[in-house]
Amino acid sequence: MTSRAASRPVGTVTRGTTNPNRLRRMDRWIAHALGPALRAAGAPVAVDLGYGAAPWTAVELLGRLRAAGPSPSRPAAVRVVGIEIDPARVAAATPYAREGLVFRHGGFEVPLPGDVRPTLIRAANVLRQYDEERVAGVWERLRGRLAPDGLLVEGTCDEIGRRHVWVALGPEGPRTVTFATRLGSLHRPSDLAERLPKALIHRNVPGEPVHAFLRDADRAWAAASPYAAYGARQRWIRTARTLRADWPLTDRETRWRQGELTVRWEALAPSSGALAGV
């Protein structure tokens, strides 16, 4: 018999702040990265973990992932499950359920029926309130729930979705870190430092790789200032080309044009602590 303690959701209630379109940059990247997997799977499941006090992010995720199908007339057959640890939030979201979208009470255990393993777990603005020492354990638990070709995307953004930083992890561990921004609002790349996920935000200090990366990005951005005459996008692209000489960027101009830069995790991983060498 399962005890009440054993069945209790894992985690703590977040502040729950959310806004429509807050996660559009992250969703756009996810749809690109997971497009082939979403199209190949019969009925893939995506989890919006900790969607907050309103269900907007889960509703939007369904639409954006389905748009990753082969054509507008053949949307991806993805299903989205919004999971929240606060039962009142689940009750408030339930009227928004529809075909392909349900809401469940739960936490990091990711309660799904049967042996379902999600192709995506998106945990945006969830771990920010946790201690850094807990991140590795949460990552491991969530990775263990993924499908073999699945992806965990965990990160942070500002309240209106202009600036994001997230880590993408496969079942084997962390793969990349993506910086994404509305270029027209950017003064310098290190403006994104305040949106680093919990795994990295306390590591933005001299001697840590993420600090060195942001320093080099600021220098490359400054050197690319003549390109500002052609717009912030061209300046960002030039910055990325300069960074590519010393940092393992995994993307190309098509993504840079979206205001993104993606770097291999091992280049930015903390130099010490539970996440060092992960």
What's the confidence (pLDDT) of residue 15?
Answer: 80
Per 3-state DSSP, what percentage of the chain is helix, strand, and coil (rounded to 5)? 40, 20, 40
**What does pTM read for this prediction?**
0.94
**Whether pLDDT at 90 is above 60:** yes
Is residue 195 within 8 Å of residue 132, measured between CB atoms?
no
**Would 244 be classed as within a structural domain?**
no
pLDDT tens readout for residues 167-193? 999 999 999 999 999 999 999 999 999
**Would 221 be classed as within a structural domain?**
no
What's the confidence (pLDDT) of residue 159?
Answer: 93
**Whether pLDDT at 39 is above 90:** no
Number of domains in the chain: 1
**Whether pLDDT at 219 is above 50:** yes
Q: What is the mean pLDDT of the chain?
A: 93
Is residue 83 within 8 Å of residue 49, measured between CB atoms?
yes
Which of 36, 183, 205, 34 is closest to 47 using CA atoms?
A: 34
What's the confidence (pLDDT) of residue 1?
Answer: 34
Q: What is the mean pLDDT of residues 68-88?
A: 90
Q: What is the mean pLDDT of residues 70-93?
A: 92
**Would 241 be classed as within a structural domain?**
no
**Would 260 be classed as within a structural domain?**
yes
Phi, psi dihedrals of residue 59, rounded to the nearest 5°: -60, -45
**Would 135 be classed as within a structural domain?**
yes
pLDDT-derived band at 4, boundaries 50, 70, 90 = very low
- Rounded to whole angstroms, how far apart are CA atoms 141 and 138? 5
What's the confidence (pLDDT) of residue 114?
Answer: 85
Residue 84's CATH number: 3.40.50.150
The percent of residues above 90 in pLDDT, for the chain, comes to: 82
The residue segments making up the domain with residue 83 are 11-181+252-264
Secondary structure (3-state) at 34: helix
**Whether pLDDT at 3 is above 50:** no
Q: What is the mean pLDDT of residues 6-32?
A: 88
Q: Of 36-40, 137-141, 231-235, 244-248, which gets the smallest average pLDDT?
A: 36-40
What's the confidence (pLDDT) of residue 71?
Answer: 80
Q: What is the mean pLDDT of residues 13-40?
A: 90
What's the confidence (pLDDT) of residue 14?
Answer: 82
What single string gives the DSSP state of each residue in 200-236?
HHTT-STTSHHHHHHHHHHHHHHHTGGGGGG-HHHHH
**Would 166 be classed as within a structural domain?**
yes
**Would 222 be classed as within a structural domain?**
no
pLDDT-derived band at 76, boundaries 50, 70, 90 = confident
Provide the residue count of the chain: 278
Q: What is the mean pLDDT of residues 141-149?
A: 96
**Would 235 be classed as within a structural domain?**
no
